[in-house]
A and B are shown apart, each in its own frame.
Chain A
Amino acid sequence: MEDIDFENRHKIINKNKKVVMCLQCGTCTSSCLIPRYLKDYNPRMSFIHALYGSRKAIENPTLWACSVCHTCQDRCPEGVNPTELLISLKELAFAEGLAPKTVAQGTELVLSTGRAYPASAIVDSARERLNLGKLRDVDVKDLNKIAEKTGLREKLNKLKG
């Protein structure tokens, strides 16, 4: 029998005050695409786990399949904003190293190149054929300054090392 972990519970509530309004009505889960294809993905269950401070809220790897499509947010009758709540849970999961490796890798790519996909000679030649000119230079100094200020850089480094 799992007791309620009040410390965790309060941590989550402080991040998203509206979570306490969740009535477990199930509108979010039945509105969502993902549970139809991934049996273990259930936003409503993630929220009750969150309310009880249970680690199950952040340990579920299927959390990362959410497409942030906002359908649950558009429909939640209590205004809980499930989209934001799920993002908060993922933030907590990431901080504990529970995110898929590719997510951190993708983020590092953006911070080092300013783009989500890698440039290459093939890309250059495809663009040339279309007379589009080279990819514009991107100054990533600013991006990295932001990541420093918000503490993301530190979090990424902690997970690397």
Chain B
Amino acid sequence: MIPIKQPHIEYLARKILPQLGLELEDLDGFTCCPDPIWFRSIDNLTWMSVAARNLCVAEERGLDILTLCNACAGVLTETNALLKKDAKTRTKVNEILKEIGHEFHGSIKIRHVLDVLDKDIEREKIQSLVKRELTALNVATHTGCHLIRPHEIMQFDDPEDPKVFDKLVSILGANPVNYTLKTQCCGFSMALSYLDASSAATRDKLMSVREADADCLVVGCPACFQQLDTGQLLASRAFGLNFKIPVLNYLQLLGLAMDYSLDEVGYNTHKIKDTNFEKKVLPENNTLKYI
């Protein structure tokens, strides 16, 4: 989704991550992970095989997979764990993979970028990139669902009381705030057939964020982003509420702390913008430029 709908996130990842010492390699052959909600539900075996195929592509190069998306992280990690644990299913999937010249071994790991930033990169290293601490900013974090559950498999953070994302935000000098609906799902899945219900879920989430006096909402997933950004616009219209809570990907927030302009981090593409937020992230006497 990111390369097509939110390419600025890809841009930021390619620009920032090497500065933190990460070596990124592009592999030919990756396809859609595929999505855990609809593709999986019409044929679980195909879903697992396509996911396993993606894993094989990386295994054959001996490289771990880095993802920028919760769903990709969830799908690939879950498939990896399931196939490693259950010999019967593994045999079945390998039979299918054999036809296309692959074999799953379970030799690599899948890492979401937030997980890498939390567990592999030293706090000081990230801090060394920060040129402008975002101390005026109150940030509400949304870890999402597929990155954090099933807890036994994902092992990213405590699903009942997630703290990792908050930690990453505070490294940038910003102030993470707690809000009552912090662990509530964004509601993306309902948007397909039940737009009203989906807007209502987004509305409740945003009202909770507003109550906590947050200036923005930070996510780690393009689907969450779309639901909370475009969905925010739809919810505002549907319920006559004027939400103005900009939603950003963590990499965008990091970029701003590294003194990238709002343009460069792709803020201009967002549906929801707010001058109050903009003032808080820019140095004094700066004017905005839009493409």
The closest CB in chain A to the CB of B29 belongs to A139
Question: Contact partner of A71 among B35, B149, B152, B193, CB < 8 A?
Answer: B149
- Complex Cα spacing A61 to B1, Å: 26
Do B42 and A38 have beta carbons less than 8 Å apart? no
Contact A37 B49 (CB under 8 A): no
B36's nearest neighbour on chain A, judged by CB, is A68
Stretch from B6-14, B211-219, B242-250, B270-278 that touches the partner:
B6-14
Given contacts A62-B194, A155-B43, contact A37 B201 (CB under 8 A): yes
Q: Beta-carbon contacts of B38-59 to A below 8 Å, as 1s and 0s?
A: 1111111110011001000000
Residue of A67, A70, A71, A91 near B188 (CB, 8 A) is: A67
Hey, which chain B residues are within 8 Å of A132, CB to CB? 3, 7, 10-11, 14
B36 touches A33 (CB 8 A): no
With A and B bound together, what is the CA distance between A115 and B3 in angstroms?
10
- On whether the beta carbons of A37 and B200 are closer than 8 Å, the reply is yes
- Are A100 and B193 in contact, with the CB atoms below 8 A? yes
Contacts of A145 in B (CB 8 A): 99-100
The answer on a CB contact under 8 Å between A69 and B146 is yes
Stretch at the interface among A2-10, A22-30, A43-51, A123-131: A123-131
Complex-state Cα separation, A104 to B46, whole angstroms: 13
CB distance from B191 to the nearest CB of A (A): 9
Report, as a range, how many residues of chain B touch the other chain.
Answer: 35 or more
Inter-subunit contact A127/B7 (CB<8 Å)? yes
Q: Tell yes or no: A73 within 8 A of B by CB.
A: yes
Q: Of the candidates A67, A135, A152, which one forms a contact with B3 in the assembled complex, judged by CB atoms under 8 Å apart?
A: A135
Contact check, A115 vs B31: say whether CB atoms are below 8 A apart: yes
**A-B interface contact total, Cβ < 8 Å:** 173
Nearest-neighbour CB distance to chain B for A92, whole angstroms, equals 10
Q: Is the CB of A67 within 8 A of B185?
A: yes
How far is B100's CA from A127's CA once the two chains are assembled, in angstroms?
A: 31
Interface centre among A37, A115, A119 (most CB of B within 10 A): A37
A95-122 interface with B by 8 A CB criterion = 99-100, 102-104, 106-107, 110, 114-119
- Which residues of chain B from 1 to 24 have any CB-CB distance to chain A below 8 Å in the complex? 1, 3-5, 7-8, 10-11, 14
Q: Enumerate chain A residues within 8 angstroms of B255, measured Cβ to Cβ.
A: none
A120 to chain B, nearest CB (A): 8
Contact B194 A73 (CB under 8 A): no
Say yes or no: B192 contacts A64, CB within 8 Å.
Answer: yes
Q: Which positions 158-185 of chain B face chain A at CB distance < 8 Å?
A: 159, 184-185
Is B145 at the interface (CB under 8 A from chain A)? yes
Indicate which residue in B41, B184, B192 contacts A102 across the interface (CB closer than 8 Å). B192
Known: A69-B146, A115-B32. A36 touches B53 (CB 8 A): no
Chain A 119-161 interface 0/1 with B at a Cβ cutoff of 8 Å (1 = within)? 1000100110111100111111011011101111001000000
* Residues of chain A contacted by B185 (CB below 8 angstroms): 33, 67, 69, 71
Closest beta carbon of chain B to A52's beta carbon, Å: 22
Q: Beyond the given A65-B189, A155-B42, could you list 4 further A-B residue pairs with CB under 8 A, ordered by the A residue number?
A: A38-B194, A66-B189, A67-B189, A73-B150
Query: Could you write out 28 A-B pairs with CB less than 8 Å apart?
Result: A33-B185, A34-B189, A37-B187, A37-B197, A38-B194, A62-B194, A65-B189, A65-B190, A65-B197, A67-B187, A70-B149, A88-B44, A90-B42, A99-B42, A103-B38, A106-B38, A110-B34, A116-B35, A123-B7, A126-B7, A129-B291, A130-B11, A131-B11, A139-B29, A140-B31, A146-B53, A152-B42, A152-B43
